[in-house]
Amino acid sequence: MLYDIRQTTSYTYAAPVRANRQVLRLSPVDRKGHQHVIAHMLDISPRPSEIERGRDFFGNGVAWMVIDAAHDRLEISTRSRVEVIVGPLPEPMLTPTIAEVRAVALASTELGPASPVHGMFASRSVPLDLAVTEWAEASCAEDRPILAAALEVMHRIHDEFTYKPGATTVTTLPAEAFAARSGVCQDFAHVMIAGLRGVGVPVRYVSGYLRTVPPEGTPRLEGADATHAWVEVWCGDSAGWIGLDPTNAIPAGEDHVILAIGRDYADVSPVDGVVVSSGTQILAVGVDVIPVERSQAEAPAS
Amino acid sequence: MSGAETRSIEFEQAAVESVLGGYETLPGVRDEMMDADGLPRAHWVPFLSELAQLGPEELRRRFSSADRYLRESGVFYRVYDDVGGGERPWSLSHVPLLLEKSDFAELAAGLVERAELLEALLADLYGPGTLVTNGALPAAAVAGSPEFLRPLVGVTPRGGRFLRFYAADVGRGPDGRWWVLADRTQAPSGVGYALENRLAVTRALPDVSQTLRMERLASFFQTFRASLLKLDSTGEGRVGLLTPGSLNETYFEHALLARYLGFLLVEGEDLTVRGDAVHVRTVAGLKRLDVLLRRLDADFGDPLELNAHSRLGVPGLVEAVRQGSVALANALGAGLVESPALMAFLPRLAESLLGHPLALPHVGTWWCGQEAERADVLAHLDDLVLTSAFGTLIPGLPRRFSAVGADLSPAQRKRVMALIARRGEDLVAQDIACVSTMPVWNGDRLVPRPFTLRVFLAATEDGWEVMPGGFCRISESLDARAFSMQRGDRSADVWVLSDGAVSSATLMPSPESVRIRRSSGTLPSRAADNLFWLGRYLERSEATLRVVRALVGRLSEVEPSSSAPLVARVLGMLSTWGAIPRDLARANPTRYAIAALTRMDLPGALPQLVRSARASASVIRDRFSPDGWRALLDLEGCLTAPVPNAASEADVYERADAALRIIAAFSGLASENMNRLAGWRFLEIGRRIERSIAILRFARAFAEPDAPRGALNVLLQLTDSQITYRTRYMIMEARGPVLDLVLLDPDNPRSLMFQVQRIVDHLRVLPGRDPDAPPSLAERLVARIQSDLIARTAETFELVHFDVLEADLLKLSDEIGQHYFIQGPEENVSWPAAT
């Protein structure tokens, strides 16, 4: 599946900003077996006085930028053409058991970005939590095939939780979203991570885009799409990381475009910045995910 | 040992019986002073006989003088647990730990080896990672640490070293061997306290410390400082000490070390990254800073790439490190090797990294992330200490959990068993290490108490240097198991007894390395800001105190009928300043004076003024002498002590007078002891501006043409100009001469003109002023005030001029703030949730 993706992020500052330093994680990169980036452009206005592009530890595309001239608006826009490749999902019952996966991960001799060890421990935005762990344990007997267990946890989040925009923020802890049984995609991903890590399963956070299809007969609105979040569960050496989307209760598929991967939201936050200013700021984000060839698949809601 | 020596030791032993009476060692625990036969060890005997000679009475006197020294130099340790975050005075156990030189040398050699191992380990884990790929270390034992800072992977620190300052907590086991209990590589604390303890003990026991000849500490600090200075490429010898700020529990130590080592004490907000290099914001603009002694935990170092919630760090610091433009001691990420999980692998890693086993053992440790170890731990659970593998909080267990299996509550046991089954990687099990005891003076005799010892090492170009001393933490409880005494109730000095000549190094650099310099050094904007406000608050306190004193002194002596209008004016002024409540209807002047002196809730009353002064001073502790700091504490103590209900005029007068005397003492210390550098000038400018404002307000209230009788006298009193007036005029107060003296006379140090001239002088020589550039706005403002005063005569002064001058002074204060202090607040950008 081929997409053209546009994202525009703008900050409007109430008082002129004298210095602006940002770290941007807005550039999709090639993910072997998942996606291929054909073209990508990053435009920043006003023009940064310093900019450097590279990769972070997890291989995400990062831009470090500084603007040192006074400005009252910052606009960051990206345009990408990405091909999404979807392989077949392994037969869940044939994946290794949780106990086997744990043993392999704990003995891993790989410290690089793809290693399961990075998905095993509590992280900044996902502290482990007893209540979430106990809840996940019901699906995660040690001798159960890992993908079967993870799919069940994913379905349970979808069934037991209410999708409720505005009820949570970027800093809401998984335990809080769990207690309220509601939240948005980021919360659902964090709850799933907290639960699976609590029972010792390596799991990581994915930020990206999800294609949405407008209701029959209505035109597609510009910028109506949104950034999305889901998880990847490590299913052993041969199956590797498998993407699961608890918000929509589906495996990550043709409609999921990966932007960045990390242990949790804090690792992949699209913009981390510090400005020198005395005033407030207004942020606006617009996303368009436009299929270049129309897919036959029915696309889910974000 | 010869017969004569034996006899002499026996003689000394007899002499020390008095100090040793009733000293009973704990069963099964080694004691540092007494051997197994209940006899003092040879290297303690000279010390004990010195104590014996002093006698218990003298000892009590000496030890309380050491306590007083620590209290008076303001040594404190901030306690987070206290409600309101109180400061706890540093608690010193007066008897030092005595170590034989050979004993310490062996320990030191073992620690040097360990430091080298940890350095090699860090270099591999942040570099090629071969220890993991070749199977010597499981990847999960590294990835589990929150101090494995992924943005730093692949970055070689400037100068090539991760560790530059390392500390180890050690204890001595029953077999007499030293054991490492924990490694400190993040930002080890305690070395400054060790220095203070040494000063306090050697002051209390000057004769004893002379006789015993212990190794000195100064050359260690000298070496450490020199090794950091070598990393500075600016050629200006500038090294920053990065502190989390005055709320940190060991802030006192940061200020002390900065002062002792001659480093610049900086907080994150003092620093900014420009062009991938770190700069400090100073009153003379941005100055490059290449070297930072880091006392801020790495995670808080950079909100952009580490903890986004950190308000203590420097945005862009990681990028500056990556570019190699700044050296941090220790490097960001060095805290990784503190984790107990890694300790489990050190013996094996020593073989592959050093080529031989570690000479110094550490407490036996097993990481429960491994199957075989897990089974072993389960089999011996009752005899092992269980603790967090990476120092992180484990849900269901208390913070800083550390407990013996046998002592676990049923609920904890259940939780631990569940963890071992499902998340063993979060736990380590350790042997129960039993440490030795040392003597503690409990008021009238010596008693044994268990302790751990922290030893400090600094990296130099020629390898690791060990501080010949250390920092003892002593537990009040008799439980000598190391895990049970993490905090320590008291500390003690450590004397490494020298068998040869003792070097008498001080922190004076060697003569050939000194470049003569008189320049002002570097004054961070934040420090200047706080000095300026300290000056303003102190002066405001002084003005308010003078008014209070006038209220209960001079005014109350005059008969009520003639004093009433004057009292009303004074009260009106205090009320405008927010120093007294507006609702004390018809109270007598004394009640008002008490309110101004004691009301905690009024912004202009003295408790809040002196608190604000103290708060400004507390974040720049490195810039004060202990005496100056003590004066501020005294002032706060004097003005916040409770006032008896039936306080009389005399009581109030007394207190106001005492407070004024302390302020005068502080001013004296500042003018006699502070170098005429930028910092002193900002303190001065703050005071002069505030005093100018007070003079104007006094004059406005009491020199009106229709002011009540006696008003001019009050004005002279408030401006402390009575004596000058009397000697000059020998007549009753007349408006013209009084105003001339109070406002215009350039030779009266209490006149407005005098204050303004001082401000002019200070502004002219502040750093960063370009001699070729036109004067700054602040300079132009104050020049206008000055020329206005020169052009005016006392007769031509009108009410409106007071207002104009006061407005100009406030504008001047703002302008100084804009120009020298404010370089923009930095705000973190927030981002909305993905949906």
Annotate A25-86 with three-state secondary structure: EEECCCECCCEEEEEEEEEEECCCCEEEEEECCCCCEEEEEEECCCEEEEEEEEEEEEEECC
Report d(CA B151, CA B609) in Å as an integer.
Answer: 45
Least confident interval from B77-81, B302-306, B320-324, B523-527: B77-81
Asked whether the beta carbons of residue A105 and residue B319 sit closer than 8 angstroms, the reply is no
Do residues B254 and B188 lie in contact, with contact meaning Cβ atoms separated by under 8 Å? no
CATH architecture of the domain with residue range A2-84+269-291? Sandwich (2.60)
Question: What local confidence, expressed as pLDDT, does residue B649 receive?
Answer: 81
Give me the residues of B, 371-400, that contact A with CB < 8 A.
371, 390, 392-396
DSSP state of B584: -
Give me the residues of A, 197-226, that contact B with CB < 8 A.
198-200, 207, 226
pLDDT at B8 over 50: yes
Q: Which of B282, B259, B258 is nearest to B270 (CA)?
A: B282
Instruction: Give B756-796 pLDDT, tens digit per residue.
Output: 999 999 998 887 777 777 888 889 999 999 998 998 888 88
Report d(CA A284, CA A164) in Å as an integer.
Answer: 20
Instruction: Give B250-292 pLDDT, tens digit per residue.
Output: 888 898 898 889 899 999 989 999 888 999 988 888 889 999 9
Global pTM reads 0.85
Report d(CA B576, CA B595) in Å as an integer.
Answer: 14
Cis amide leading into A88 (omega within 30): no
Check if B824 contacts A (Cβ < 8 Å): yes
Average pLDDT in the B598-624 region?
A: 86
Question: What local confidence, expressed as pLDDT, does residue B248 receive?
Answer: 80
pLDDT at A60 over 70: yes
Among B674, B700, B734, residue at a domain's last position: B674
Q: Do the domain assignments include residue B439? A: no
Do residues B614 and B241 lie in contact, with contact meaning Cβ atoms separated by under 8 Å? no
Instruction: Note whether B23 and B72 are same-domain residues.
Output: yes
Instruction: Note whether B725 and B739 are same-domain residues.
Output: yes
Average pLDDT in the A128-148 region?
A: 97
Least confident interval from B66-70, B192-196, B236-240: B66-70
Mutation choice for B interface testing from A204, A274, A283 by most B CBs within 10 A:
A274
Q: Residues B786-808, buried b or exposed e (16+ Cβ, 10 A)? A: beebeebebeebeeebbeebbeb
Asked whether the beta carbons of residue A57 and residue B143 sit closer than 8 angstroms, the reply is no
B509 pLDDT band, cuts 50/70/90, is very low
| H or E segment to which residue B685 belongs | helix B678-702
Q: Do the domain assignments include residue B791? A: yes
B535/B6: higher pLDDT: B535
Pairing of strands A250-251, A241-245: antiparallel
Alpha-helical runs (H) found in B302-434? 317-322, 340-343, 346-353, 371-379, 410-422
Which of A11, A106, A271 lies nearest to residue B140, judging by beta carbons?
A106
| H or E segment to which residue B507 belongs | none
Q: How far is residue B466 from each of residues A124, B99, B215, B459, B469, measured CA to CA in Å?
A: 36, 14, 12, 9, 8
Q: Do the domain assignments include residue B516? A: no
Least confident interval from B462-466, B644-648, B699-703, B810-814: B644-648
Average pLDDT in the B139-146 region?
A: 98
| Residue of chain A whose Cα is closest to the Cα of B136 | A109
- How many CB atoms sit inside 10 A of residue B773's CB? 7
Instruction: Note whether B670 and B691 are same-domain residues.
Output: no
Report d(CA B341, CA B148) in Å as an integer.
Answer: 13
Asked whether the beta carbons of residue A272 and residue B308 sit closer than 8 angstroms, the reply is yes
Check if B248 contacts A (Cβ < 8 Å): no
Average pLDDT in the B527-535 region?
A: 90
Phi and psi angles of residue A163, each rounded to the nearest 5 degrees, phi first: -80, 120
Average pLDDT in the A204-227 region?
A: 78
Instruction: Note whether B684 and B802 are same-domain residues.
Output: yes
Question: What local confidence, expressed as pLDDT, does residue B518 receive?
Answer: 44
Check if B313 contacts A (Cβ < 8 Å): no
Among B625, B647, B674, residue at a domain's last position: B674
Average pLDDT in the B59-80 region?
A: 72
Report d(CA B178, CA A49) in Å as an integer.
Answer: 56
Q: Do the domain assignments include residue B552? A: yes
Mean pLDDT of chain B: 86
B599 pLDDT band, cuts 50/70/90, is confident
Give me the residues of B, 268-307, that contact A with CB < 8 A.
273-276, 303-305, 307
Instruction: Note whether B300 and B402 are same-domain residues.
Output: no
Report d(CA B188, CA B199) in Å as an integer.
Answer: 21
Question: What local confidence, expressed as pLDDT, does residue B458 receive?
Answer: 97
Check if A164 contacts B (Cβ < 8 Å): no
Q: Residues B70-94, buried b or exposed e (16+ Cβ, 10 A)? A: beebbbbbbeeeeeeeeeeebebbb
Pairing of strands A281-291, B285-288: unpaired
pLDDT at B660 over 50: yes
Task: Provide the CA B339 distance to its chain's centre, in angstroms.
Answer: 27
Question: What local confidence, expressed as pLDDT, does residue B54 receive?
Answer: 87
Question: What local confidence, expressed as pLDDT, does residue B576 receive?
Answer: 87
Instruction: Note whether B626 and B602 are same-domain residues.
Output: yes
Q: Do the domain assignments include residue B668? A: yes
Question: What local confidence, expressed as pLDDT, does residue B628 receive?
Answer: 84
pLDDT at A23 over 70: yes
pLDDT at A261 over 90: yes
Question: What local confidence, expressed as pLDDT, does residue B708 receive?
Answer: 83
Instruction: Give A273-285 pLDDT, tens digit per residue.
Output: 888 777 788 888 8
Which of B150, B371, B833 lies nearest to residue A186, judging by beta carbons?
B833
B224/B559: higher pLDDT: B224
- How many CB atoms sit inside 10 A of residue B105's CB? 14
Asked whether the beta carbons of residue A117 and residue B832 sit closer than 8 angstroms, the reply is no
Please say whether the dihedral angle defined by the alpha carbons of residues B743, B748, B750 and B753, taken in this order, is positive or negative: positive
Asked whether the beta carbons of residue A273 and residue B138 sit closer than 8 angstroms, the reply is no
Question: What local confidence, expressed as pLDDT, does residue B756 receive?
Answer: 95
Asked whether the beta carbons of residue A21 and residue B273 sit closer than 8 angstroms, the reply is yes
Question: What local confidence, expressed as pLDDT, does residue A211 receive?
Answer: 86
Asked whether the beta carbons of residue B143 and residue A111 sit closer than 8 angstroms, the reply is yes
Question: What local confidence, expressed as pLDDT, does residue B167 receive?
Answer: 97
- Token pair, residue A158, equals 């979808």
Instruction: Note whether B733 and B746 are same-domain residues.
Output: yes
Average pLDDT in the B181-191 region?
A: 95
Instruction: Give A91-120 pLDDT, tens digit per residue.
Output: 999 999 999 999 999 999 999 999 999 999
pLDDT at B227 over 80: yes
Pairing of strands A182-183, A162-163: parallel
- Token pair, residue A134, equals 């106990």
B835-A281-A175 Cα angle (round to 5): 35
Asked whether the beta carbons of residue B315 and residue A274 sit closer than 8 angstroms, the reply is yes
Asked whether the beta carbons of residue A283 and residue B369 sit closer than 8 angstroms, the reply is no
Check if A125 contacts B (Cβ < 8 Å): no
pLDDT at B86 over 80: no
Question: What local confidence, expressed as pLDDT, does residue B66 receive?
Answer: 82
B421/B119: higher pLDDT: B119
Which of B133, B371, B834 lies nearest to residue A226, judging by beta carbons?
B834
Among B652, B674, B696, residue at a domain's last position: B674
Distance from CA of B270 to the nearest CA of A (A): 14
As for how many domains chain B has, the answer is 5
Question: What local confidence, expressed as pLDDT, does residue A302 receive?
Answer: 46
Average pLDDT in the B612-619 region?
A: 85
Q: Do the domain assignments include residue B796? A: yes
For chain B, percent of residues with pLDDT exceeding 70: 89
pLDDT at B81 over 60: no
Q: Do the domain assignments include residue B611? A: yes
Q: Which residues of B fall within a CB distance of 8 Å from A21?
A: 273, 304, 315-316
Do residues A214 and A230 lie in contact, with contact meaning Cβ atoms separated by under 8 Å? no
Instruction: Give B544-591 pLDDT, tens digit per residue.
Output: 999 998 888 766 666 666 678 888 888 888 988 889 887 765 667 888
CATH architecture of the domain with residue range A92-268? Roll (3.10)
Question: What local confidence, expressed as pLDDT, does residue B525 receive?
Answer: 86
CB pairs under 8 A between A and B: 157
Question: What local confidence, expressed as pLDDT, does residue B482 receive?
Answer: 79
Give residue B386's domain range: 364-432
Instruction: Note whether B692 and B772 are same-domain residues.
Output: yes
Instruction: Note whether B613 and B684 are same-domain residues.
Output: no
Which of helix, strand or coil describes residue B387?
strand
Average pLDDT in the A231-255 region?
A: 95
Question: What local confidence, expressed as pLDDT, does residue B775 receive?
Answer: 84
Average pLDDT in the B626-645 region?
A: 84
Mutation choice for B interface testing from A212, A258, A272 by most B CBs within 10 A:
A272
Question: What local confidence, expressed as pLDDT, does residue B73 receive?
Answer: 65
pLDDT at A220 over 70: no
Question: What local confidence, expressed as pLDDT, does residue B5 receive?
Answer: 52
Question: What local confidence, expressed as pLDDT, does residue A5 receive?
Answer: 94
B178/B619: higher pLDDT: B178
Instruction: Note whether B602 and B622 are same-domain residues.
Output: yes
Instruction: Note whether B798 and B704 are same-domain residues.
Output: yes
Instruction: Note whether B660 and B686 are same-domain residues.
Output: no
- Break chain A into its structural domains and give their ranges: 2-84+269-291, 92-268
Phi and psi angles of residue B380, each rounded to the nearest 5 degrees, phi first: -120, 25
Check if A194 contacts B (Cβ < 8 Å): no
Give me the residues of B, 734-773, that contact A with CB < 8 A.
none
Give me the residues of B, 91-130, that contact A with CB < 8 A.
125, 129
Mean pLDDT of chain A: 91
Give me the residues of A, 53-112, that contact B with CB < 8 A.
56-58, 64, 66, 68, 103, 105-112
B630 pLDDT band, cuts 50/70/90, is confident
Q: Which of A222, A294, A210 is nearest to A2 (CA)?
A: A294
Which of A21, A187, A277 lies nearest to residue B304, judging by beta carbons?
A21
Asked whether the beta carbons of residue B425 and residue A106 sit closer than 8 angstroms, the reply is yes
